[in-house]
Structure 1
């Protein structure tokens, strides 16, 4: 899974679906190796069926994510959806100071869970306790209710941040892709300070 962070622009992008854009990125072009052994980076896959109980304590929105944007909450930047409403990628404010701890503490994890009497995969994009905060809201991506996102909504600004993807659509969100980390850090402060 390709996750980019440009420290100069303080922006990042999370590619939830594989596409041709991801082919041009390689770890050799990333500054992440200045901080971590790139061979040790991973996105663990964990079976935790009872995690669905935590999700059941969160509010499940009746409207889809697309229907709720700019009504229930606003996007930080923009999140790309396909024609059906499935999320392809997330554009977010992301600095090196935020990105590196997320990588170090393996905030990016893939869980096999049981929820709503079905099997799902949940990809966390932040610290576990922040993802499962009871104040977060779960939005279905389509009326099929086979993929969802967990959104943390700031009460004062009404800005929504994507915390996790919950999916039963392994065809759209392939497990092997989600488990293969490609952390692209550009313009690292450590790299720039070596000059």
Structure 2
């Protein structure tokens, strides 16, 4: 899964679906190796069927994500949806420090769970306790209710931040893709620090 962070503009993008763009990126072009052994980076897959109980404590919205955007909450930047409403990617404010912390603490995890009498995968995009906060809201991505996102909505600004993807659509969100991390860090402060000392 391709997750980018450009330190010069403090922006990131999470590619939830594989596409042609992801083929342009390779770890040798990333500054992440300045901080971590790239061979040790992983997105763990964990079987935790009872996690569905945590999801059941959150409110499940009746509107789809697309219907709620700009009515119930606003996007931080922009999240790309396909024609059916499935989320392809997430654009977000992301500093180098935040990005490195998420990677270090393995915030990106893939869980196999049982929820709503069905098997789902949950891809977390933030710290566990922040993802499964009871105040977060689950939005279906389509009327089929086979994929959802967990959204943390700031009560003051009404900005919604995507915390996790819940999916039964392995065709749209392939497990092998989600488990294969490609952490692309550009314009790292450490890289520029090393250049200036040469």
* Structures share fold, TM-score greater than 0.5: yes
Q: In angstroms, what is the RMSD of aligned CA positions? A: 0.3
Matched with 1:185 is 185
**Within 2, Cα distance between the matches of 1:61 and 1:105?**
30
Shift of 1:4: 0.1
Matched with 1:176 is 176
TM-score, normalising length from structure 1? 1.00
TM-score, normalising length from structure 2? 0.98
Residue segments in structure 2 that go unaligned for 5+ positions in a row: none
**Alignment deviations for residues 143-169 of structure 1 (CA, whole Å, 9 cap, x no partner):** 000000000000000000000000000
> How many residue pairs were aligned?
195
Shift of 1:177: 0.1
Provide the secondary structure at the position in 2 that maps to 1:106.
coil
Provide the secondary structure at the position in 2 that maps to 1:164.
strand
Alignment of 1:37-116 (within 5 A): 37-116=37-116
User: Which contiguous aligned blocks of 4+ residues in structure 1 show a shift greater than 4 angstroms?
Assistant: none
Matched with 1:141 is 141
**Within 2, Cα distance between the matches of 1:194 and 1:146?**
47
**Alignment deviations for residues 45-64 of structure 1 (CA, whole Å, 9 cap, x no partner):** 00000000000000000000
Provide the secondary structure at the position in 2 that maps to 1:169.
coil
**Within 2, Cα distance between the matches of 1:62 and 1:24?**
38
**Alignment deviations for residues 84-111 of structure 1 (CA, whole Å, 9 cap, x no partner):** 0000000000000100010000000000
Residue segments in structure 1 that go unaligned for 5+ positions in a row: none
**Within 1, Cα distance between the matches of 2:18 and 2:183?**
14
